[in-house]
Amino acid sequence: MRGTAGIDGLVEAAEAGGADSLVGGCGNWDGWMQVALEEAAVAEAHGDVPVGAVVVDGDGRLLARRHNERELLGSPTAHAEMLALADAAKVIGGWRCSGTTLVVTLEPCPMCAGAAVAARVDRVVYGAADPKAGACASLYRICSDPRLNWAPQVVAGVGADKSARLLKAFFASRRGRAGN
């Protein structure tokens, strides 16, 4: 597992104490969002848009943690959510991720929201809204579309300020380099 000692301690505490150790038993997803933010920082370090994602099971155990790797892998589908869902499915031993929660720093795009539906994720928790590509609430509502056969619960705005600051700083630095 990647991460700093502080994040590893957070993960260990969550795994040892079950879901209540981080989520407070009442839907507080801040701890897992912090792990996703650490993943986002890894993406930024190799030139990818800083988005991180984790998948946890119903007992609060970490199944997967990933970050964007589109630039690193040269793949248009290497979004943090897609990679984390694929890793979680391997851990589970099948494609159905029922009973899991996907926690991601940025509102999923249509591809990633569709993957959450297809994987039968119970819940999608995201930080910053994405008015240009968000597919859970901002632009589309894939996770709540009644025409689809699965509808994960959506929890928006967890760690939104931290997520947005990270993204704004990343794009500001890119614009600054483009002008030089």
Q: Could you please report the per-residue DSSP string of 146-169?
A: TTSS---EEEE-TTHHHHHHHHHH
> In the structure, what pLDDT confidence band is assigned to residue 177 with cuts at 50, 70 and 90?
low
Sort strands 123-128 and 153-156 into parallel, antiparallel or unpaired.
Answer: parallel
Answer for the pair 54, 80: CB distance below 8 angstroms, yes or no: no
Average pLDDT over residues 49-62: 97
> Has residue 92 got a pLDDT over 80?
yes
Q: Which amino acid is at 142?
A: I
> In the structure, what pLDDT confidence band is assigned to residue 176 with cuts at 50, 70 and 90?
confident
Indicate the SS3 state at residue 102.
strand
Answer for the pair 21, 143: CB distance below 8 angstroms, yes or no: no
pLDDT digits (tens, 9 = 90+) for 27-51: 569 999 999 999 999 999 999 999 9
Query: Active-site residue among 38, 39, 81, 107?
Result: 81
Q: What is the pTM of this model?
A: 0.84
pLDDT digits (tens, 9 = 90+) for 108-149: 999 999 999 999 999 999 999 999 999 999 999 999 999 999
Query: What's the Cα-to-Cα distance from 157 to each of 59, 152, 164, rounded to whole Å?
Result: 23, 16, 10
Look up residue 115 and give its two tokens.
Answer: 């993957």
Active site includes 81? yes
